Structure 1
């Protein structure tokens, strides 16, 4: 069977450093930190008092007020980002077969704010089970692609991938496979998350996963730095329109790049910690390269998972050295989580977008907040520290990993 070629024809972003695609890119290349004190609730008794919130955002500028009440924030973010990507791609029901347009979306948690609010309201009452009739449809993780499909009339495959922080990268790999196997012409893919809540922050704090650098939140996300002390929780959404190449050409679509390959693997090691030698990460990058039919020396840029955790950063860089050998020092490696924080299930989507825009613009966004060399990290690696670097990128990879040992890698090629 001859596999179809798959390209990216639309992008949309709603992030802690920019509320649309252009703002997001400007924030990335300028090394903007999205971390700041939390505004959503009183943090006085919390260990971590900051996060990467979406800022200056009024959802009613995008979605009808009545509909907003029926949507958890993670679904609101999904709609806004996907609207931008669909408009960017120029997709309408007049130029596509609606039965061959799908929505495959990623969310690691889903409607956490809704769940928290409903349970707390019940606990504060007299024991009578009074719940909002929209409680379940607001909360469930699959509801975001449902809303996107209903809003646009897309009647192809429609579901959510849930693999913790690898969720939206997983969604992209699934979307890529559906199209190249000839099962769809177009798929809106990506991910969204809105876990900056009392329960979300409290839960991650109890695991000692979050940075507690409350005195300097804007510098708290510091991947690869010796003084890193955990990740910074972020929120938002990223959306990509994937399309079969001939279909895109036939309708005169703008093409950002080609999706070259996708890889998946499992650590099969620990509930939350990566294997110290990055064995699962080695496997996922090798799987992705094999799928793309490329050699390690073909890769110019890797957007790492790079969460700013003591164990994870070192394990991922060890894996990169194991896969790429001497060529590793020739690759521009970065972590855009240094700016956006960790968007959990949406991370893979916004980082795929960062990789694509880096390729299109010939600029690698920096890994900001690096001040102290970690002796466990090979100094010959180019981690794109503190300042963006110009580079002609022909092949870029984006790594995303999740609790449970889920690993996903997506590769993009200049076209």
Structure 2
């Protein structure tokens, strides 16, 4: 039972790329980005928001039930994407587990409630139950009327891939047959953006410049940090056994944590990524990996260290490297699952999606295996190796 393969049988997301895999793929084929400069309260910054169509769907969801009117966008995004995922997978009996995480959780509501407290000296009745991190999985489980375990966690930016790790562990243990896993994030709020700016990692791109890309993720020659936040939720349905019509097979999993030397740093050659990738490759020749979808947040040190780690593991047989953060920003706890979605799309369509301002020397003619990386503050790395069905 433990050795049965684990398959991804459905994927769904709501993001700046749209609300369907077809829409996401069409937007990946376009060379332009989805980052916009605007004011978030008193903070002016680049950001990547949901499409207008997606925002309308979230508003419809919010107004569909009186209980949903007081929920944070991060919870509503998760409910929407989760409904779509289980519909794709054909799960109808509610007999599955839920593990959805978030780096920040209900940050929009938290900021609102805290502002009201500062002004009035009193907290709103719903301020506590609607801002806990457990809020997301709990509401999804309630909405889908599930009968299995429901788990929430935050492992910063590697949260969604840690959810996948946990789902696989439950399946392999025999304690569950199906698991819904993913991440949700709505970080385009004044205080969240201000926090990133305080770390000196946020994009200061001037639109009058000629390059045209506020986030230069995977540009190893950039002279300044260029991270941009984006909002999204992304979910995957996991099942074990030989599943027909599955989207991809999970062929390897790896994880590692570095000793913390600084609140946000990892080592110059990302030892955590070296360990997680090596674990994910156990029993598989690195030459058989065609593409790596990098975490690559758009920071100088973050991007350089991850590429250095990949070179350590793959040596002269370097796979093609890509990322999606230049296009849709960094959605913190949801970002790893969005990267996994890109990987599955490339496996399905057999086409490599590169970064327009990066010269790609190794573009594979056939794509059979893709590795997906994510890492959070303090070096919480996860690597997932996917195989074509």
Query: What is the TM-score normalised by the length of structure 2?
Result: 0.92
Whole-angstrom distance in 2 between the partners of 1:28 and 1:265: 30
> Which SS does the other structure have where 2:112 is aligned?
helix
Name the residue aligned to 1:373: none
Whole-angstrom distance in 2 between the partners of 1:216 and 1:243: 49
Which digits, 9 at most, give the CA deviation of each residue in 1:81-126, with x for residues without a partner? 1111111111111xxxx44x1001121110011111111111122x
Which digits, 9 at most, give the CA deviation of each residue in 1:9-59, with x for residues without a partner? 11101112223322222111223311002365343xx4xx22111120121
Name the residue aligned to 1:104: 99
Whether 1:346 and 2:311 are equivalent positions in the alignment is: no
Whole-angstrom distance in 2 between the partners of 1:18 and 1:222: 22
CA distance 1:209–1:158, change in 2 (3 Å): same
Which digits, 9 at most, give the CA deviation of each residue in 1:231-267, with x for residues without a partner? 1111111111111124x45xxxx21011112111012
Q: 2:166 aligns with which of 171, 174, 193?
A: 174
Whole-angstrom distance in 2 between the partners of 1:401 and 1:412: 18
What is the Cα deviation at residue 302 of structure 1?
0.5
Whole-angstrom distance in 2 between the partners of 1:401 and 1:2: 27
Whether the 8 Å contact between 2:286 and 2:314 is mirrored in structure 1 is yes
Q: 1:158 aligns with which of 147, 150, 158?
A: 150
Whether the 8 Å contact between 2:266 and 2:378 is mirrored in structure 1 is no
CA distance 1:73–1:395, change in 2 (3 Å): same
CA distance 1:256–1:211, change in 2 (3 Å): same
4+ aligned runs moved over 4 Å, structure 1: none
Whole-angstrom distance in 1 between the partners of 2:240 and 2:106: 32
Structure 1 vs Structure 2 CA RMSD: 1.9
Name the residue aligned to 1:79: 79
Whole-angstrom distance in 2 between the partners of 1:19 and 1:237: 10
CA distance 1:69–1:3, change in 2 (3 Å): same
Whether the 8 Å contact between 2:321 and 2:354 is mirrored in structure 1 is no
CA distance 1:90–1:229, change in 2 (3 Å): same
Q: 2:235 aligns with which of 225, 235, 239?
A: 239
Whether the 8 Å contact between 1:166 and 1:348 is mirrored in structure 2 is yes
Whole-angstrom distance in 2 between the partners of 1:216 and 1:276: 32
Whole-angstrom distance in 1 between the partners of 2:182 and 2:31: 23
Whether the 8 Å contact between 1:222 and 1:368 is mirrored in structure 2 is no
CA distance 1:40–1:104, change in 2 (3 Å): same
Name the residue aligned to 2:356: 368
Whether 1:309 and 2:292 are equivalent positions in the alignment is: no
Name the residue aligned to 1:376: none
Which digits, 9 at most, give the CA deviation of each residue in 1:61-89, with x for residues without a partner? 33415233221011111111111111111
Whole-angstrom distance in 1 between the partners of 2:37 and 2:366: 37
> Which SS does the other structure have where 1:277 is aligned?
coil
Whether the 8 Å contact between 1:19 and 1:54 is mirrored in structure 2 is no
Ranges in structure 1 where 5+ consecutive residues have no aligned partner: 371-378, 384-388
What is the Cα deviation at residue 280 of structure 1?
1.3
Whether the 8 Å contact between 1:229 and 1:308 is mirrored in structure 2 is yes
Which digits, 9 at most, give the CA deviation of each residue in 1:122-178, with x for residues without a partner? 1122x2x2x232222221112111111111122212112311000001101111121
Ranges in structure 2 where 5+ consecutive residues have no aligned partner: none
Whole-angstrom distance in 2 between the partners of 1:176 and 1:309: 31
Query: What is the TM-score normalised by the length of structure 1?
Result: 0.87
Whether the 8 Å contact between 2:253 and 2:279 is mirrored in structure 1 is yes
Whole-angstrom distance in 1 between the partners of 2:170 and 2:31: 36
How many residues matched?
380
Whole-angstrom distance in 1 between the partners of 2:23 and 2:16: 10
- Note the 1:71-150 alignment, pairs <5 A: 71-93=71-93, 98-99=94-95, 101-125=96-120, 127=121, 129=122, 131-150=123-142
